Structure 1
Amino acid sequence: MPPGHQAGRAIAADEFVTQRHGDESETVPALPRKVDALDAVDVGQRLDEFDLLTNLGSGAFARVFLARQTSMQRLVAVKISENHGTEPQTLAQLDHDYIVRVFDQRLLPERDLRLLYMQYLPGGTLLDVLHKARKTTWTPQRSGQLLLDAIDEAMEAKGEIRPTDSSVRAELAGLSWPETVAWLGRRLAEALDYAGRHHVLHRDIQPANVLLTAEGVPKLADFNISFASRSPDADRAATAYFGGSLSYMSPEQLAACHPADATTPGDLDTRSDIYSLGVMLWELLTGRKPFPSASSIDSAGATPTSQQTTQGEHSTLDTMLAHRTAGITASAIADLPPDTPPTLRRILLTCLAPNPDDRWSTGAELAQQFDICLNPPARNLVDPPPGSWRYRLRPWSILIMELGVVVPNLLAAYLNYYNVRSLVIDDLSRQAQQRFDLMWLIVTLVSFPVGALLILYIRRYLVLVPYGLRKGKTYDAAILARARTDAILLGDRVFVVLSGIWLVCGAAWAVAMAIDIGGIPARGYLYFFASVVVCAAVAVAYPFFLVTFYAIRCLYPTFLPHGEVTGADSEQMRRLHDRSVRYLAVAAAVPLIGVAGATFIPLDEIGSVIVAIRILCIGGVVAFMGAYWLFRKVESDLTTLEGVTSNRSQPIREP
């Protein structure tokens, strides 16, 4: 931890003052502390079995040193503070790749101090990175190398040697600056999710409390004012040690600091930490916070007298609350770098929503969104540019889907009519021909609307839910999961509906011809059913790819920004890919079946359908090429979406 690190804050909710450190503000206890014992600790001393080597940082309540643990002959970070707070008990529950690992504590009763020794990380903190980013003029070439340079500077100051041949550092160097911020955010979100699942809140997310390894991996530290919501004394712990940096607090955490507000520290949950993470990442991305800091608010007015201190603190809180509840302004959004992906902008704005219900509810949801942001094909699917065809066509989903089904079926129905008319009906009387035409017209006029209504019914969630989302309506997880499943299975369900309609219509035609027309030879029925099979394959196989392509590329991604997606979706996608291969085989077989069927037609009759056979063969080849192109697009989209919904992201392990 670098000099200036404000470690170990503890405060009663109704007894606080604001203490400034540079341009930052934090709440600190109004009661005096015992300074002698803590201030007497310095470099060169031995406490217990720890030789204090270097001062890494100090704050209102603690000092942090680089120390050598003599019994283990290893370097550790030692945090020395007054003997209060719940940090050791809290961190004992947490063992995660993106949370600083605490080894143990020692009590020094003769000085009434506590010594907490933990994993030593040589890469400095995100505060160092923030300072360097502010000093660096933005250019389109700004990249993750800036993060690595800040780490190298921090390591050089400690006499450390940077690692070589690091795949993690190579990955970071290749990221843009917004992608680097997302890369860091994804790992910190996973840390918050882990802590949240253990019912632990941090309550002091800020750059100084994020340590960095030599490879750039962030680790969340300083849980001194956190609390475990399921501990036996959770209600007391929530308020007994409450504080943090005002500039990074969520609206509800600021309200809990305000004596006139009914909100209490015990009302906070992970969404408050997510808000603070959003403020920190916004500041890292733009170089400034999305809201005025406490110091800038105070500097706008006169310095209060001692009698006005309490009133001034309340006024500062009121002003900060007003800024946060008003939301992010257009001028703050204008601070975002031009190369910020729309996905990252959406993620951060959701983190910074004034109402906790409008934020990501868990760190896992947030981590999944960062996965989307870090995957360019996925973020283009989920957040297409406003001018893209996917974005413009979303409101027209009903019309597009119906045309994708109706047009191939109309062509197949006409082809079937032409074949049966030429091979079977033209040899019958004129009256029989007229009755056949009437039957064909009636069946077509009935079956097409019925099929359209059935398809509209099975995709009702794909119509209603996106419309509601565009209007700002919220849906529970079950409804969103149902809509996502409907999008994945839409092509299969359309296939079943169309197959059923062709089967019913074919049987109805055959029965109607036998009853109403009569006199048709057995060979005529054979031709009839062969034609129905070929045309049904045309009507069913090709729409599957059109429907699936549109559902996966344009409909399914609209649901991803609205809640965590479980691994069940990725499993459904893998099965869809396997089925798509079989559908592709059917599409490839259509012209072959047409040619094979033509060999059974007598030579003196083949002339009447030779045009239809040519159309079927040539059209089948062209349609298959289109189906194959759509298949490859669907395959690519499924691979992309499966990668960000599988929940199989692997953490970076310690070297």
Structure 2
Amino acid sequence: MSTHRVLAGRYEVGEVIGFGGTADVHLGRDLGSGRPVAIKVLRRDLARDPLFHSRFRREAKSVAGLNHRAIVEIYDTGYEEVEGGSARQVRVPFIVMEHIAGRSLRDVLRSRRLTLDVTIHVQAEILSALDFSHRAGVIHRDIKPANVMITPEGAVKVVDFGIARASGDPAATLTHAQVFLGTPSYLSSEQARGETADVRSDLYSAGCLLYELFTGRPPFVGDDPVCVAYQHVHEEPLRVSDYDPDLTPAVDAVLVKALAKAREDRFQDARTFADALRSAGRGLGQDMPMTLAMSTQTGTAALAC
């Protein structure tokens, strides 16, 4: 790596490989083991804000205990002391995590539509990750294609628990200082209203993601976040069979339930959602377990039984 920046005397920091509204993710190397890692560092301007600081630390604490094949693994956490102006030092937190080679599901969808069997496989893995995190009391709150990675071997990994909260947390609402927490295209109706999120909110977001896997677009789109949020609360999306006549009424029924406005009308847990999807898939002749293998050179996808 071309940089000499080292965190905690152990983690060499390389180039930025991802960024968001609150943090940057760097490619890194564990000097002790030699393995590649991803290092997520809170933006310096936000490190002074106690709320963002605590939210970032909560991500590390929430995910560190989630040992599941489809959830990114956390290795270590720490702070970097940086100059904060006026001769003050600012403690900037960082998270060292599993480096996931491959591409985000968002990037995959930009280049191609997935086949039905791959769609069901990817969604089932996402729901398996959510089932595990929900049973551990952790709500993700930002399920979307950009937060799902596909490795070159075809593994599915849910990442970025940056706004996750423990279930029942009264602060698990949509906004902070009038800023959306979550992505409008995948927000549940209760999050759009600023109400407390629960596991069924994650399942609604997963339903939005599944809708996009089937149709190539989220259920609701608009020119601004408020317009999209309004649709989540007040409007119904087109049936997926309107986009693809090969999709059966059973598939429509899965999406209708997943995207119900009232959370009590949705799937109540991720396992039930996954079972319903697999049952609908069998009606399409998709009853063989499949994996998705990604080519890191060409960005293409291939199926392997």
TM-score by length of 1: 0.38
- 3-state DSSP of counterpart to 1:84: helix
Separation in 1, partners of 2:138, 2:97: 19
Choose from 184, 187, 190 the match for 1:252: 190
Choose from 9, 15, 18 the match for 1:54: 15
Paired residues in the alignment total 268
State yes or no: 1:273 paired with 2:202. Answer: yes
Which structure has more helix as a fraction of its residues? 1
- 3-state DSSP of counterpart to 1:108: strand
Instruction: Using the aligned pairs only, state the percent identity.
Output: 30
State yes or no: 1:225 paired with 2:163. Answer: yes
Question: Hey, what does 1:188 align to over in structure 2?
Answer: 126
Separation in 2, partners of 1:203, 1:343: 27
- 3-state DSSP of counterpart to 2:219: coil
1:73-104 deviations in whole A, cap 9, x for unaligned?
10111111133311011112211111111112
State yes or no: 1:320 paired with 2:224. Answer: no
Question: Hey, what does 2:256 align to over in structure 1?
Answer: 349
Name the stretch that deviates more: 48-57 or 268-277. Answer: 48-57
Question: Hey, what does 1:45 align to over in structure 2?
Answer: 5
Question: Hey, what does 1:214 align to over in structure 2?
Answer: 152
The verdict on how the C-alpha distance between 1:250 and 1:239 changes in structure 2, with shifts beyond 3 A counting, is: closer
Contact 1:327–1:353 (CA under 8 A) maintained in structure 2? no
Question: Hey, what does 1:203 align to over in structure 2?
Answer: 141
Question: Hey, what does 2:216 align to over in structure 1?
Answer: 287
TM-score by length of 2: 0.78
- 3-state DSSP of counterpart to 1:57: strand
Which structure has more strand as a fraction of its residues? 2
Contact 2:150–2:156 (CA under 8 A) maintained in structure 1? yes
The verdict on how the C-alpha distance between 1:376 and 1:44 changes in structure 2, with shifts beyond 3 A counting, is: farther
Instruction: Structure 1 unaligned segments of length 5 or more: list them.
Output: 1-41, 134-141, 145-176, 257-262, 299-315, 380-639, 644-648
Task: Identify which of structures 1 and 2 has the higher relative contact order when contacts are C-alpha pairs closer than 8 Å and 6+ apart.
Answer: 2
Alignment of 1:47-126 (within 5 A): 47-48=7-8, 49-81=10-42, 82=47, 83-85=53-55, 86-110=58-82, 111-126=90-105
Question: Hey, what does 1:373 align to over in structure 2?
Answer: 280
State yes or no: 1:235 paired with 2:143. Answer: no
Separation in 1, partners of 2:237, 2:79: 48
Separation in 1, partners of 2:166, 2:77: 18
Alignment of 1:144-159 (within 5 A): 144=114
Choose from 114, 127, 144 the match for 2:106: 127
Larger Rg: 1
Contact 1:286–1:335 (CA under 8 A) maintained in structure 2? no
1:473-515 deviations in whole A, cap 9, x for unaligned?
xxxxxxxxxxxxxxxxxxxxxxxxxxxxxxxxxxxxxxxxxxx
Alignment of 1:590-609 (within 5 A): none
| One-letter amino acid of the structure 1 residue matched with residue 7 of structure 2 | L
| One-letter amino acid of the structure 1 residue matched with residue 207 of structure 2 | G
Separation in 1, partners of 2:188, 2:173: 16
- 3-state DSSP of counterpart to 1:223: coil
The verdict on how the C-alpha distance between 1:340 and 1:79 changes in structure 2, with shifts beyond 3 A counting, is: same
1:224-247 deviations in whole A, cap 9, x for unaligned?
1111126xxx33566897711112
| One-letter amino acid of the structure 2 residue matched with residue 57 of structure 1 | G
Separation in 2, partners of 1:370, 1:196: 19
Shift of 1:378: 8.0
